[in-house]
Amino acid sequence: MDKRVGFKPEDQPGVASAEGGIVLLDGPNGVAVAFTPDAAAITGYSLIAAAEEARAYQPDA
């Protein structure tokens, strides 16, 4: 468990795919989300920005 957030952050990545005009994100432990293409793109940019910010807090950064 990570004391900063009160749970263990997932360390396995999700996998995105496109089917019939919908973007599907399959995550660990059965997590699945369906996005419109625009929502998927915005989510992707947001995830990258948040990951870059979070890396600054990593001990080996």
Between CA 13 and CA 11 the distance in angstroms is 6
What gap in Å lies between CA 57 and CA 53, rounded to an integer?
A: 8
Whole-model pTM? 0.80
**Residue 31: C-alpha distances to residues 7, 14, 34 (Å):** 16, 9, 10
pLDDT in tens, 6-61: 888 899 999 999 999 999 999 998 999 999 999 999 999 999 999 999 999 887 75
Q: Residues 34-48: pLDDT tens digits?
A: 999 999 999 999 999
DSSP state of 27: -
Q: What is the pLDDT of residue 61?
A: 52
